[in-house]
Amino acid sequence: MRVVSGSAKGRPLKAVPGTGTRPTTDKVKEALFSMIGPYFEGGTALDLFAGSGGLGIEALSRGMDKAVFVDLEPKSIEVIRINLTATKLENQAAVYRNDAGRALKALAKRSTTFDLVFLDPPYRMKNGDELMLTMHELELLEHGATIVLEYESKHLYPEQFGPFEQTRKALYGETAVSIYHYAPHASEDGESSTAEEEGLHE
């Protein structure tokens, strides 16, 4: 694994040891970012089932200002920190060991909001849509935010639910990637209100 493009292009990334995590391949990562970027002019990203941190690190390399990495496994947290140091992006990142649901509540208490979210839960979990609705309820998403949901291709998520609309879907073998656009119904126009960057604290 490596960083595909941007400021840290070509930097190798350490994988989480064992078979518990399923890193997004460079090929899928490159295709994914061509759908949502490929580059960004600032913003804050959330890598919720971060694993090795490859998706959030790629987003930082391609122009995101900040990224929050969350994983429950201690081995993953250790690898994320190693990879952030190797790519010299550690000053733009916050890393938390927690499960997804508790992490979202903690982030909401900090009034953190996100422009880009990566959801790559273990394939046995089929609750990506529920997690997205939780983010909406907790007001964690900027208007117009992009959510990248990666899941087993045999599973189907709805094209539209709540304030989320699927704008792209791609299949890569046993992996499916759906891109969702966040547009709360309460909004009167297509523009986000001022998206002030929120401070991140451990």
**Position 200 confidence tier, pLDDT thresholds 50, 70, 90:** very low
Check if the beta carbon of residue 39 is closer than 8 Å to that of residue 64.
Answer: no
* Weakest-pLDDT range from 54-68, 106-120, 141-155, 187-201: 187-201
Cβ 92 vs Cβ 47: under 8 Å = no
Give dist(CA 184, CA 176) in Å, integer: 25
- CA–chain centroid gap for 59, Å, is 9
Residues with Cβ within 8 Å of 87's Cβ and at least 6 positions away in sequence, in order, are 3, 8, 11, 13, 57, 60, 61
Computed over its alpha carbons, how large is the radius of gyration of the chain?
16
Tell me which of 80-84, 95-99, 146-150, 191-195 is least confident: 191-195
| pLDDT value at residue 164 | 97
Mean pLDDT for 4-27 is: 86
To which residue do tokens 């953190």 refer? 112
Nearest Cα residue to 104 out of 140, 51, 142 = 140
pLDDT tens column, 125-158? 999 999 999 999 999 999 999 999 999 999 999 9
Euclidean distance between CA atoms 83 and 137, whole angstroms? 32
| Spatial CA neighbour of 68 closest among 178, 196, 199 | 199
pLDDT digits (tens, 9 = 90+) for 163-189: 999 999 999 988 999 999 999 874 444
Checking if the pLDDT of 114 tops 90, the result is yes
Residue recorded with tokens 């790559």: 120
| Helical (H) or strand (E) element with 74 | helix 74-86
